[in-house]
Structure 1
Amino acid sequence: MNTRHSSMQRLRKVAVSGLLAALLLVGCGGEKPEAMLASAKQYLAKNDPKAATIQLKNALQQKPDLAEARFLLGKALLEAGDATGAEVELRKAQGYKYPADEVTPLLARSLLALGQADKVTSEMASAELSTAQAKADLQTSLAMAYLMQNKPAQAEAAFAAAVAAQAGYPPALLGQARLKASQGDLPAAMALVDAAIATSPELYDAWQLKGDLLSNQGDAAAAMLAYRKTMELRPTYLPAHAAVIRQLLAEGKLDEAAQQLAVMKGIAPGQPQTIYLEALLAYQTKDFPAAREFILELLKRTPDNPLGLQLAGLIEYELKAYPQAESYLLKALPNTSELGIARRVLIASYLRSSQPGKALSVLTPVLDKIENDSNMLALAGQVYIQNGDIEKGGEYFAKAAALDPQNAGKRTSLAMVSLAKGESEVALRDLEKVAAADPGNRADLALIAAHLQRREFDAALQAVASLEKKQADDPLVHNLRGTALLGKRDLSGARASFEKALALSPTYYPAAANLANLDIVEKKPADARQRFETLLANDPKSMQALLALAQLRAKEGGTTEEVAVLINRAVTANPSEPTPRLALIGLYLGKNDTKSALSAAQEAVAAMPDEAAILDAAGRAQQAAGEYNQALATYGKLATLKPDLPLPYLRMAEVEVAAKNKEAALQSLHKALKVMPDSLDAQRGIIMLELDAGRVTEAVAVARAVQKQRPKEAVGYVFEGDLHATKRSWSDAVTAYRAGLKQVPAATELAIKLYATLSVSGNVAEADRFAQTWLKDHPKDARFSLYQAESATARKDFAAAAKLYRPLLEAQPDNAALLNNFAWVAGQLKDPKAIEYAEKANKLAPNQPAVMDTLGVLLVDQGDQGNQARGLALLKEAVALAPQQAMIRLNYAKALIKTGQKTEARSELDELAKLGDKFAAQAEVTALLKGL
């Protein structure tokens, strides 16, 4: 009995174990793959891709070649946001011969989600599908891929094909809406979205796009409702969650953003988009260490994510880790908006770390695109001031102010507008108040620039002292102080300030350049050279220092090869920077060495094939070498790269004129006008070519079109008057200039043109009457008076010229150009003070060939042996600085003759004789050669 009981007990145990095993087998996958496939379909129908994925993976464990399961797994993964996994599974489904009508459209969408637009178009553009739905789906994806490749025409055609395959296909309507939105036609885009929603109200991505459009139109409340509707329709749709979180962050609702982010983390805790928003939230709450941790985690997963790199740069900038910020932002820059936050913060980072040269390098490529961006214009002002270009910095501050004069929050801008209107006292007081209250330096820099431009050096020094209280250890402060002291002619004080700036930052180029300029003025070129070598010891890749050494060698009379070696050092140290490559091409073009220029251009294009400035320089090198077809091809590429700029077509016109194909040039100029209908360069070119072809009526029509486009500007009337003057139709020219003065009564340029035309046409008395009337009505018009003075000099009426120059100099006693011109006139009148004026001009503007020429000639003419020797030295140096200035070389030759150095004079005159008709004073050259 006991034995039987024991046997029965064992049997029951075995039975129970077998049943348990069977139950476990069923629970662990004993269910047939087909049943799991059916279950997965039900989950997909309920919009539960996660549960569907589990069932499909179990089915495929048992039957890996189940094609439909592969396809549905790809679909589920794509809906869950795993595009990488989706592509893998869909390609396997393709391999198992699953119907192309099902797989191909879905695979195209997976590739799009991965950003692989080129694969979509290369692999699927010619795919043959049979059903209308499949065709419409694929054509929509193709259109989106074309858009990603910046091919709007092909995109538009693909969208049209999608709608043709299936009328009113909602995804295609959404694609067309995106295209309209990218073209700025938001109403048309919204109409298409509404049509898609009317057809398919459950289309969640239509509601998402509607939210985006409403957000772009500034309707945040309506946009939020659209995003909420998207989440209602597809609770797991991450872009909708992200859009809501971004909008809440933008509105400063940080707590609500955090709550929404918690929901998103529950849906997709490890997704890159979720991690990015965690970093963004931490950044906005100023928890920068936490933001750094999140962004590092994101970049581990997606190291090339442009938004992630951009945010990483912003975080490092806030943590004052400028080298790290630079590294991230440089990587982000090519894949973010040209005028976006990455470029702005990178520039600001360079300014903060005393690298203004790099800031300028990042700013330069977008200078032609910031005319309507007051913040970028103001940033440009800071960049130029930090680079020591006070004049340009002030100009950009003024432009920024003019764009935003009504914004009371930008008191710096308001003050700059007041300055531009001539309300200087009020403006400067306002700037002082803003600078005192603002912890930043924008107002300080604008104030300093204003004072320096007005040559108010003591006031500038006071403003610098205020800036120093905010940033005492910034080399910029001491460089600005040195600039103001230079204006006061306190050279030793200026030198001390520049040296302090360099002591604070041994790689601060503007201070080194200022010290080098002082060295050159003091005739110490070796010291100047050492400045840059010392800077390079601390920063071997300093592009500015390397190029400065090249420029210095060129001024010293170095050979082209010597200068090229130095520029090539800058190229090698900065292979991705266009500036040194452009300098090398420019060097060879300046020396007429077209073969070397072409070689340098080819290397530059190979290194930077999509850099507009490089392509432009390459085209110029090809044109100079007579390679006109190559030049046209290069400018054609530039036109493709920059379709919104007229420059490529203007360059093509130059090439075609050089190739004597003026009709083709005319066509190119008209293309430029299509790109920019008010391009003055194109209009001017068309006028010249029409005039050259004898089509005066057509030329006048263009000039009058300019007048209509710019009714309050002088330019159109100048065009018309000038074309009549070119044909010596003096009365028509006068009529055009007078008509312009009626429309633009204060236009000095028109007044000068009218005065000149009356004079040259023989109506001297009328010209004088007009001049008297003009100056009576415009007593402060220095430009008109200066033109009169220059005209009197040109006709050798030196007494009249001197009379006109004197009041100009009384108003601007430190104007080097005026002093130089007056010195020449005074010399012709044998005024003993002529040399004194020329000496002052030379001190104010050292190393300027034209000024050195005037002083040199006057010293030689004086006859004193010591002065003659100094005059000859000045003229020789002026020729070295400006070898292309033939008149300076002629004056040097005449001075050599005057001092008995006939052999040297013959050498200079022979050089001038080679110029032939290119030099207007060739008759004098011939006469001088005969007299030797």
Structure 2
Amino acid sequence: MPQTLRSTQTAHRLPRHAGRLSLLSLALLLACSKPDHFAQGQQSLSKGEYATAVVELKNAAQAQPDSLEVRIALADALERTGDTLGAEHQLRQALKSTPKDELVPRIALLMLDRMDVAKLDQEFHDRKLSTPAANSELHAVLALGHLALQHPDKAREELKDVTPSPTASLAKAQLLLADGQREKALAELEAVNAQGPANWWVLRATSRVQSSLGQREQALKTIQKAHEAAPWNRGLIGEYGEALLNAGRIEEATAQRDKLRKQAPGYFWTQYLNAALMARAGRYEEAHASALKVLAGVPDHLPATLIAASAELQKGETLMAEKRLLSIGKKHPNSIQRIQLLAQSYLRSGRLNDANDMIRNGLALDAENKQLLSLKADVALQRRDARLATQALEALLKSDPKDAYSLLRMAELQGGKSEATLGLLQRAAEATTDQGLQDRIIATVLRLGKPAEARKFAEDMVKAQPEQAQTRLSLAAVLRAQGDADGARKQVQTVLDKNPAYAPALSALELLASNEAQRAELLTRYAQAVKTKGSPAQTFMAYAAQLERAGQTDPSPLSVLEQGLSQFPDDIQLRDTVVEAYLLAGKPEKAISTAESGASANNAPATAVALLATTYQRLGKQSPALEAWRKAVAASPLRNDWKLQLAEMEAGANRHNEAASLLRSLLTSHPTDARAYRALALLVAKDKPSEAISVAKQMGQQEKLKNEALLLEGEVLLRQGKLDDALKQYSEAVKAGAIPAAAIARISVLDQAKRQPAAESELATLLRNLPKHPGVLQFAAQRAMANGQVEASLDYWKRAVELAPNNGALLNDYAWALVQSKKPGAVEVAQQAVAMTGNHPNAMDTLALALAQAGKQEAATKLLRSAFNLAPTVPSIRLHLASALNASGDKAGAAELIKNLRPEQLNADDKAALSRLRGA
């Protein structure tokens, strides 16, 4: 028993001991299986998976907060994600636990990369590191900071005692560059590169110097190497993109911009590249918006300033462009591009002396600058100084005898000297492949009355460039002008056979389609075009319009537009057209969703938000419309038309203070915009009449707006019921030359004061003085109709539209007068108005009433439904549709439409019609 017992006890002890060993082994195994965050972070870092690396290394730093190795690795990862502040923080944390001089220059470089130069200088200017190499490196970085702020003397001070290093050489090179010693600067950098593989920031600096020396191809290669050495660096992506753009490699530059958009949509380089690309593509609104975002962070950035000012000049905002260009004059007085833009601005605003002075300053810096010499000729031509213009053009041709534009302008200047002129035009034609110039040359030859020579010019251009589509279209235009439509059509067909998607050729074919067979061919060509790769968004819109005119439904115009939008989701004009088509088809939900998807897309332009605002507004959704307009204005704060719209919306929502604030900001930013003064004065006229008068007087301080200011002051007085004061004010405006507006205003006030004889007398005088002024005749027509003088009214209307046959609004008013007087011809005139106004709801409404009056009730109802779909909030259109539905027996539909109509929204005739409907 004892023996057995002992062996049993042993048997029990062994398993228990074995159990303890197993748990220990398990604990060891678990400890070994814990993730090594540092190792995994380094592995992710080496693979370029920077976000993952940051996560792993942050975990490692939590576990080992005093590890220098971990902190440096985490700083590397953070820097590669663009978080230079985070990287700096990690290096400072490392310094706390492990004082190491070598980390200080690295911290300084991160601060310099962020352009936090003031703080950099404040913290490190007097800092002396114990390690000589680190101390030298720190002060070289400080020198770079001073050079960035254009303080060369401070940079020299920092570089006094530095030892040779890549950073020191970089600083010395930039100092040489600032001193104008560009060749020595390049030699300094090349010496650094010769010592071994250069780091990315030395390569970047080398590229900048090469670029300043005009070595653009070499500079591009160098910045590409820098980018390849540090592909994570966002600044390098931006500079590389800019270099590609300057080299004309647009697709590659766009790819760099798109890469930055994904990584950092609000980053300086992202916005600048986008601004430059949009400007290059002629998309000035988007270029302007992006340039302003650049300038919000870097107000003195010259290239962004030039883009913004150029866009403002394109939009006619010369005052804003001038202010912007003058503001950077102190820092960039010798920028030729700035001088050119200022000269253009002065020229456009008629300030010829200022333009001339600016051109003279520019030519003192660059005597052979073509743009400035060309502007000099422009100034001379505006002054009618043919001698000075000829001198400027001769100077251009002396430096470049094959300057086609100057040859063309010299020919235009010579005018009637046909043989000499033809010789110049011949030289110009031989010197250029620019289609715009070629077309202008041919047009000039035609103006000289030389059709045969024009044809020969065009044929020679085709022979010289047989594969150039536009030269054939120029020849087609000449053939068409000579009455050879078949020859013209063959040239256009040749172009489309080679390139079915070439939009100008499709437009030319449309001009030549004069019968059913040719119109059928046009539709076939468009159908082929939209199936061809490379067809632009405009082609889809043009094809849809052609289908609409032809009344075809297979394919439907809307389906073609939808197809186009699926291919070009960023094209705002196409999206706008699709929204309009949905509204016309009575699909408001689809219209809203289409506008919303454009506005909610990544990096959606402000124009997409404005489209959404307009769509809400048209459908009577005032609250979301107001919110969308606020977003659009915030995204593009210099769009004065949008600010005016937002102010109107704010006022409509009884937010008068907000509206007034917006309008006052407009007076500051756009002091020559008459609309802002008028809107503000009329906004405050009721409650603050003295302020309204003050606004009108403030407007009068602008030389260009003096007459309009006098008229505005008269309108304010009229709204206050001060008829005599208003009459006096309008008399002042007449004396100042505000004719015919002030005279018309006087007559209206006299009518309002029941002084008809005086009104009749003044109108007779006005008609004698301006018998062929469409606006005067329009006023006379409206007044005669209001006084029951139907025949006289129609006579005035007829004379007005004969003088302005392309004025859609005038045609619509004439058609309305014909409808009111139940005279023949209303349908034909109304159809012209609809064609001229592009399906404006008011014109459609007029045509519908004319059709109904002509007994075409079904067509009238259909057209009224379309007008209502486009403008469901317009009371008169709603009423007219209700009347049509009621007449067709749809009394429930009519009742629904007039349910919320208020009589005060309607004119006298429509009030009576509403009363009849409600009593039916």
TM-score, length basis structure 1: 0.58
The answer to whether the aligner puts 1:144 opposite 2:79 as a matched pair is yes
**Correspondent of 1:268 among 183, 196, 216:** 196
Q: 1:332-731 counterparts in 2 under 5 A?
A: 334=258, 337=269, 359-361=280-282, 365-370=286-291, 395=316, 403-404=324-325, 412-413=340-341, 415-420=343-348, 422-424=350-352, 441-443=370-372, 446=375, 462=409, 465=412, 473-474=431-432, 475=434, 476-480=436-440, 499=458, 503=462, 534-536=494-496, 542=502, 566=526, 569=529, 573-574=533-534, 601=565, 603-605=567-569, 625=589, 635-638=599-602, 641=603, 691-692=651-652, 694=654, 718-723=678-683, 731=686
2:694 counterpart residue number: 739
1:72 counterpart residue number: none
Name the aligned partner's letter for residue 196 of structure 2: A
2:840 counterpart residue number: 885
Cα shift at 1:744: 3.0
Instruction: Summarize the Cα distance change of 1:420–1:106 in structure 2 as closer, same or farther, 3 Å threshold.
Output: same
Distance 2:480 2:313 in 1: 24
Cα shift at 1:773: 1.8
**What RMSD in Å do the two structures reach over aligned CA positions?**
7.3
CA deviations over 1:466-490 (Å, ceiling 9, x no partner): 797889623443444567799x898
Matched position secondary structure for 1:920: helix
Distance 1:240 1:445 in 2: 45
Distance 2:596 2:741 in 1: 42
Instruction: Summarize the Cα distance change of 1:710–1:584 in structure 2 as closer, same or farther, 3 Å threshold.
Output: same
2:731 counterpart residue number: 772
Instruction: Summarize the Cα distance change of 1:255–1:915 in structure 2 as closer, same or farther, 3 Å threshold.
Output: closer
Contact 2:458 2:475 in 1 (8 A): yes
The answer to whether the aligner puts 1:216 opposite 2:216 as a matched pair is no
Contact 1:588 1:596 in 2 (8 A): no
Alignment identity in percent? 14
Contact 1:849 1:879 in 2 (8 A): yes
Contact 1:214 1:222 in 2 (8 A): yes
Distance 1:544 1:195 in 2: 67
Instruction: Summarize the Cα distance change of 1:533–1:493 in structure 2 as closer, same or farther, 3 Å threshold.
Output: same
1:187 counterpart residue number: 118
Cα shift at 1:739: 2.0
2:64 counterpart residue number: 130
2:876 counterpart residue number: 920
Distance 1:340 1:908 in 2: 53
CA deviations over 1:796-855 (Å, ceiling 9, x no partner): 989967865887899xx9xxx86996998899758999878755645xx6xx65577799
Cα shift at 1:772: 1.5
Contact 1:143 1:158 in 2 (8 A): yes
Contact 2:845 2:864 in 1 (8 A): yes
Distance 1:571 1:196 in 2: 68
Distance 1:241 1:708 in 2: 48
Cα shift at 1:211: 4.0
Contact 2:606 2:635 in 1 (8 A): yes
Instruction: Summarize the Cα distance change of 1:274–1:419 in structure 2 as closer, same or farther, 3 Å threshold.
Output: closer
Instruction: Summarize the Cα distance change of 1:302–1:215 in structure 2 as closer, same or farther, 3 Å threshold.
Output: closer
Moved more, 733-742 or 920-929: 920-929
Distance 2:751 2:516 in 1: 33
Contact 1:381 1:392 in 2 (8 A): yes
Structure ranking higher on relative contact order (CA contacts 8 Å, 6+ apart): 2
Distance 1:698 1:342 in 2: 32
CA deviations over 1:764-800 (Å, ceiling 9, x no partner): 4433222122343x43x56955985998999998996
Instruction: Summarize the Cα distance change of 1:669–1:404 in structure 2 as closer, same or farther, 3 Å threshold.
Output: closer
The answer to whether the aligner puts 1:907 opposite 2:841 as a matched pair is no
Name the aligned partner's letter for residue 145 of structure 2: L
Name the aligned partner's letter for residue 72 of structure 2: D
Moved more, 647-656 or 613-622: 613-622
Moved more, 330-339 or 167-176: 167-176
Distance 1:341 1:872 in 2: 53
Distance 1:227 1:195 in 2: 14
Instruction: Summarize the Cα distance change of 1:919–1:873 in structure 2 as closer, same or farther, 3 Å threshold.
Output: same
Q: 1:839-878 counterparts in 2 under 5 A?
A: 841-842=804-805, 849=808, 876=831
Instruction: Summarize the Cα distance change of 1:915–1:627 in structure 2 as closer, same or farther, 3 Å threshold.
Output: closer
CA deviations over 1:354-403 (Å, ceiling 9, x no partner): xxxx9545766414345788878888999x9xxxxxx9769488876664
Name the aligned partner's letter for residue 773 of structure 1: E
Distance 1:187 1:849 in 2: 61
Distance 1:211 1:277 in 2: 14
CA deviations over 1:73-98 (Å, ceiling 9, x no partner): xxxxxxxxxxxxxxxxxxxxxxx999
Structure 2: runs of 5+ lacking an equivalent: 1-31, 261-268, 296-300, 390-405, 414-423, 785-789, 889-920
Distance 1:246 1:710 in 2: 41
CA deviations over 1:131-178 (Å, ceiling 9, x no partner): 334564355345424437xxxxxx756765775676599999989978
Distance 1:285 1:366 in 2: 28
Distance 1:806 1:200 in 2: 95
Instruction: Summarize the Cα distance change of 1:581–1:770 in structure 2 as closer, same or farther, 3 Å threshold.
Output: same
Cα shift at 1:217: 1.1
Distance 2:71 2:562 in 1: 49
Instruction: Summarize the Cα distance change of 1:272–1:931 in structure 2 as closer, same or farther, 3 Å threshold.
Output: closer
Name the aligned partner's letter for residue 876 of structure 2: A
Number of aligned residue pairs: give it. Answer: 765
Distance 1:172 1:561 in 2: 74
CA deviations over 1:695-742 (Å, ceiling 9, x no partner): 556665666677788899777654544445xxxxx6436444212123
1:90 counterpart residue number: none
Distance 1:557 1:887 in 2: 34
Name the aligned partner's letter for residue 625 of structure 1: E
2:904 counterpart residue number: none
Matched position secondary structure for 2:697: helix
Instruction: Summarize the Cα distance change of 1:362–1:794 in structure 2 as closer, same or farther, 3 Å threshold.
Output: farther
Instruction: Summarize the Cα distance change of 1:829–1:705 in structure 2 as closer, same or farther, 3 Å threshold.
Output: same
Name the aligned partner's letter for residue 371 of structure 2: R
Name the aligned partner's letter for residue 473 of structure 1: A
Instruction: Summarize the Cα distance change of 1:740–1:249 in structure 2 as closer, same or farther, 3 Å threshold.
Output: same
Structure 1: runs of 5+ lacking an equivalent: 1-95, 149-154, 348-357, 385-390, 725-729
Distance 2:590 2:363 in 1: 55
Matched position secondary structure for 2:82: helix
Cα shift at 1:619: 9.9
Name the aligned partner's letter for residue 742 of structure 1: K
Distance 1:560 1:677 in 2: 47
Instruction: Summarize the Cα distance change of 1:564–1:482 in structure 2 as closer, same or farther, 3 Å threshold.
Output: same
Distance 1:587 1:173 in 2: 69
Distance 1:443 1:582 in 2: 40
